Structure 1
Amino acid sequence: MTVTLIPPVHAAADKPAHRDSNVLRWLGAYTASMVGDNVYYLALSWAAVQAGTPSQAGLVMAVSAVPRALLMLGGGVVADRFGPRRVVIGSDAVRCAAVLAVAALLFAASPGLWLLALLAVLFGTVDAVFMPAVGALPARVTGRDQLARVQGMRGLAIRFANVVGAPLGGLGVALGGAAAAFGLAGLLIAVSVPLLISVRMRDLPTDGEGDLPSDGEGDLPTDRQGDGKAGGAADREADGKAGAAADREADRKAGGEAGPRSMGAAPDTAPRATPWQDLRDGLRYIRGHRVLAPLLVAIALGDLGFVGPLNVGLTLLAEQRGWGASGMGWVLSGFGTGAGVAALLLTVRGRLPHAGRLAAVAILAGSVAIGALAYAPSLAAAVGTALLVGLLAGLSGALCGALLQTQAEPAYLGRVSSVAGIVSLGFAPLSMPLSAAAIGWWGTGPVFVTSAAVCGLGGVVVLCSGPLRRAQLPR
């Protein structure tokens, strides 16, 4: 098989991300994949409702979360060992093939819920590898100074996918049932594969390169040197603990693909670390990092306090206030608009000063807005409050994501992204049934205020951590 080597992107050729064709190809691939995901979930829910009872349909929709949560940490190891580009391409290819196969089966017959459950499990398993790789990929396609802008562009892509995906899925169901919707989802995911293949990978920085102080005081470089005791630079140089040196060499040779070592290289006598050792190394790296450790705690608290009110509490609030489904839709539109504006701001500016302090202020102000949403006197006031929630939550989320991207060393980004994914996709959804039960006992107001307090604790964590509070986005 002939392998086409794609030349790496060099730092000297850096362009603003929104004008870089390489980044735009990545963004197009990511957008197509996300739109396909939205169409897929709508098709899956429709097919499950048609094939079984509502409770059975709910079980089918939830079953994909189990392998995703259980395997996400392992997915981060896979992304760092084999390179995120290769993992994302392979994951999208598997997801595309699985969805198209189910579409073909549904066209030919009615296999029932077992097929849908099997697809959901497979999709969740592949997602456990796909999501950490997606989080690690931006550092390979652009420079550190553009990662914040890329985070804003990624947020815009997610908003676009949420807005467009559901109507496209509904159109597919209307024209040809669940089979047509699955087929459309598979084709959209398929579009991402050639785009990803055309994306060029850049050289990863060698140990110590590209590390910038968080506030001009030198906190982060000192901290990262200390992280070597917990499996940082020394382990990567040994090529046995984390395998990062081999990944960087492979990325330089084949645009992010793993490849054979040079024939002239000295034989490597050190044994390659096992996946379990790589996982432990990544967790030690996070635990010992003075910015990433509190940042992930803040992200976790924000997700735990935010997911319940938005997904469950808002539905119950709209029912209690008599706003109906249309009123709830308007409130959700307000939230989406605010989040989109925040993503657009980061895309246009590329960098916001005092990122750590700004994230803390946005988290605290957003938590107050979440608590106020339950006491909005009218639908118009609720929509305005939701707009503010979306703006502040979108801003804090984009800044936290940008800090995560810029503070983590690229060789660890898969594992760092997997920990963040575990928090967002594994723990945070647990707050939804708890929020529903708590609202039944105490009402919407107290539960929204409690959730807001949990979100606010994330801002307190940022303010109490000096390195994180002083963290800056690279220029």
Structure 2
Amino acid sequence: MTLSYAVRRRPPRRDVGSPLPASYLAWLAAATVSQLGDVVLGFSVGWVAADHGGTAAGLVLAAGSLPSVLLLLLGGTIADRFGARRVMIAGDAVMLAASLGLALAVLHPGTPLWLLLAAGVVRGVVFAFYSPSAGSMPRRLVADAQLTRALALRQGAAQTVLLLGAPLAGILVAAGGLGSVALLDAGTFLVVLVVLLLVRPRYTTPPSDRGVPVWRAALDGVRVVYRTPGLVSALTLLAGAAAFLLPTMSLVLPLLARDAGWSAAATGVVAGAQGVGIVVITVVVARRGGARRPGVAASGGLAVAALGQVGLVVAATTSAGVATPAGEWATVAAAGLVGAGSGLFTSHLGPVVLGSAPRTHLARVQALVGFVQVLAVTLTNAVLGALASATSPAAAGGVCALGLLGCATAGAVALRRLTLDPVESAQ
């Protein structure tokens, strides 16, 4: 018997007052420190790779992202078979050794391209195995009724890391170079490694699929998603949100900013406003709990994000070449709306996806979550970039807003009766 979430007519039980377990808070704190080190190292490697030219920098980025996509489902399967905690301990040990090796390697003058490529490949491979395990850890450490608050706190911490990571990386690279950053990253991996050795999951299941070939066990994760009520709709909505929401700040905003003549500093402030919006919403959800109808709340978040995207497009097109205080505040407010909508969406739909997965398939479902999002955003980034070049950045932003509105409408219909009330179901 495993816990799964189902559509319920009666009001759901929500756990708002009880504190999150100390084991989860300790793991989250260590994981956040490790993520900060990883973000700083990723930025630093990219910065150093840029010295070799644009093509080289692109190769280094691809060296990290390609293994992640190709091995993600395998990583989830290995975690379900041998245990997420074991996979994470192994991954942290490998990254600790790799970071120390990188720090020693750059003691010699120069940073050859092959070294940066090797660092990217190692990070990408470890991420493919580590990410599904880390994504499943909240449900292994907290009660199902606490998932919404636990995941909201994790998202807020992750967004704070993203806000601080790039500026911190710039300071550290300027002060001590790539070697000092690699040493810092090694220290953060040591912290999370020690915590993982001390913390044990509160909710465990026996290893699954021991006698089944790995490739078949990976495909079994797809079967479970297909057969679990609500998971297909939820993953489809996640893919749609990734396709039209993630490119907003990474692709559409820089194009809009350049077209409007904004400075890099001003564009950075706008991007930061989105992060602040995410943090504010996730902190509220972490303290007060989620909405009774998470599907409706998540869909509403996409609608709010769409409204913010429209505001960004309007602000960029009306302020081209003419910067006014009112226009700047309107742009920041629009970016904040995008962030608030994003936070509302993920903090409500994330617990549904993780909570609906059978405990024997937690990491595989998380691997599929990552896979559909990466695939969706990869496709739309190419299409939106081509559209912006052929027409205008405003057209690409408009397509994102319309896409999000369509996803919000579809999600409100498909997930309108979804609640977070756990019930026992046989698997």
Asked if these proteins are the same fold (TM beyond 0.5), I'd say: yes
Aligned counterparts of 2:262 and 2:120: Cα–Cα separation in 1: 33
Aligned counterparts of 2:210 and 2:246: Cα–Cα separation in 1: 43
Within 5 Å, which residues of 2 pair with 1:452-463?
452-463=401-412
- Give CA deviations for 1:195-230 in whole Å, capped at 9, x if unaligned: 1222121134xxxxxxxxxxxxxxxxxxxxxxxxxx
Aligned position for 2:352: 403
The aligned amino acid for 2:420 is L
Find out whether 1:281 has 2:220 as its counterpart. Answer: yes
How far is the alpha carbon of 1:309 from its aligned partner?
Answer: 2.6
How far is the alpha carbon of 1:97 from its aligned partner?
Answer: 1.3
How far is the alpha carbon of 1:363 from its aligned partner?
Answer: 1.4
* Larger deviation, residues 117-126 vs 344-353: 344-353
Length-normalised TM-score, structure 2: 0.88
How far is the alpha carbon of 1:389 from its aligned partner?
Answer: 1.0
How far is the alpha carbon of 1:17 from its aligned partner?
Answer: 7.1
Return the match for 1:416 from 365, 377, 390: 365
Aligned counterparts of 1:327 and 1:121: Cα–Cα separation in 2: 34
Residue 473 of structure 1: SS of its match in structure 2? strand
How far is the alpha carbon of 1:18 from its aligned partner?
Answer: 5.0
Based on CA coordinates, which of the two structures has the bigger radius of gyration? 1
Residue 420 of structure 2: SS of its match in structure 1? coil
Return the match for 2:242 from 276, 281, 303: 303
Distance 1:363 1:15, change over 3 A: closer
How far is the alpha carbon of 1:111 from its aligned partner?
Answer: 5.1
Aligned position for 1:316: 255
How far is the alpha carbon of 1:19 from its aligned partner?
Answer: 4.6
Asked whether the equivalents of residues 160 and 275 of structure 2 are also in contact (C-alpha less than 8 Å), the reply is no
Aligned counterparts of 2:240 and 2:295: Cα–Cα separation in 1: 16
Within 5 Å, which residues of 2 pair with 1:335-350?
335-350=274-289
Query: Stretches of 4+ moved more than 4 A in 1?
Result: 14-19
Distance 1:399 1:117, change over 3 A: same
Aligned counterparts of 1:147 and 1:183: Cα–Cα separation in 2: 34
Asked whether the equivalents of residues 44 and 61 of structure 1 are also in contact (C-alpha less than 8 Å), the reply is no
The aligned amino acid for 2:249 is L
Within 5 Å, which residues of 2 pair with 1:221-240?
none
Find out whether 1:293 has 2:232 as its counterpart. Answer: yes
Residue 202 of structure 2: SS of its match in structure 1? coil
How far is the alpha carbon of 1:323 from its aligned partner?
Answer: 1.9
How far is the alpha carbon of 1:409 from its aligned partner?
Answer: 1.9
Aligned position for 1:49: 50
Aligned counterparts of 2:127 and 2:335: Cα–Cα separation in 1: 30
Aligned position for 1:20: 21
Aligned position for 2:196: 196
- Give CA deviations for 1:119-169 in whole Å, capped at 9, x if unaligned: 101110111111111111111111001111111111121122112222332
Find out whether 1:381 has 2:330 as its counterpart. Answer: yes
Within 5 Å, which residues of 2 pair with 1:76-475?
76-110=76-110, 112-204=112-204, 245-246=206-207, 272-376=211-315, 377=318, 378-465=327-414, 468-474=415-421
How far is the alpha carbon of 1:318 from its aligned partner?
Answer: 1.0
Asked whether the equivalents of residues 297 and 461 of structure 1 are also in contact (C-alpha less than 8 Å), the reply is no
Aligned position for 2:10: none
Aligned counterparts of 1:81 and 1:246: Cα–Cα separation in 2: 5
Within 5 Å, which residues of 2 pair with 1:33-48?
33-48=34-49
Distance 1:55 1:354, change over 3 A: same
RMSD of aligned Cα (Å): 2.0
Aligned counterparts of 1:438 and 1:371: Cα–Cα separation in 2: 17
- Give CA deviations for 1:13-36 in whole Å, capped at 9, x if unaligned: x99675521111111121012101
Aligned position for 1:10: none
Residue 391 of structure 1: SS of its match in structure 2? helix
Aligned counterparts of 2:210 and 2:106: Cα–Cα separation in 1: 48
Asked whether the equivalents of residues 299 and 409 of structure 2 are also in contact (C-alpha less than 8 Å), the reply is yes
Aligned counterparts of 2:210 and 2:368: Cα–Cα separation in 1: 26
Asked whether the equivalents of residues 30 and 157 of structure 1 are also in contact (C-alpha less than 8 Å), the reply is no
The aligned amino acid for 1:451 is C
Asked whether the equivalents of residues 72 and 371 of structure 2 are also in contact (C-alpha less than 8 Å), the reply is yes
Question: Please, which runs of 5 or more residues in structure 2 have no aligned partner?
Answer: 1-14, 319-326, 423-427
Asked whether the equivalents of residues 20 and 146 of structure 2 are also in contact (C-alpha less than 8 Å), the reply is no
Asked whether the equivalents of residues 148 and 350 of structure 1 are also in contact (C-alpha less than 8 Å), the reply is yes
Asked whether the equivalents of residues 311 and 432 of structure 1 are also in contact (C-alpha less than 8 Å), the reply is no
Question: Please, which runs of 5 or more residues in structure 1 have no aligned partner?
Answer: 1-13, 205-243, 248-269
How far is the alpha carbon of 1:380 from its aligned partner?
Answer: 1.6
Distance 1:90 1:197, change over 3 A: same
How far is the alpha carbon of 1:77 from its aligned partner?
Answer: 0.5
Asked whether the equivalents of residues 308 and 336 of structure 2 are also in contact (C-alpha less than 8 Å), the reply is no
* Larger deviation, residues 95-104 vs 142-151: 95-104
Distance 1:176 1:365, change over 3 A: closer
How far is the alpha carbon of 1:396 from its aligned partner?
Answer: 0.5
Asked whether the equivalents of residues 240 and 376 of structure 2 are also in contact (C-alpha less than 8 Å), the reply is no
How far is the alpha carbon of 1:433 from its aligned partner?
Answer: 3.4
The aligned amino acid for 1:413 is L
Distance 1:19 1:449, change over 3 A: same
Aligned position for 2:323: none
Asked whether the equivalents of residues 299 and 345 of structure 2 are also in contact (C-alpha less than 8 Å), the reply is yes
Aligned counterparts of 1:20 and 1:196: Cα–Cα separation in 2: 15
Aligned counterparts of 2:303 and 2:132: Cα–Cα separation in 1: 28
Asked whether the equivalents of residues 218 and 364 of structure 2 are also in contact (C-alpha less than 8 Å), the reply is yes
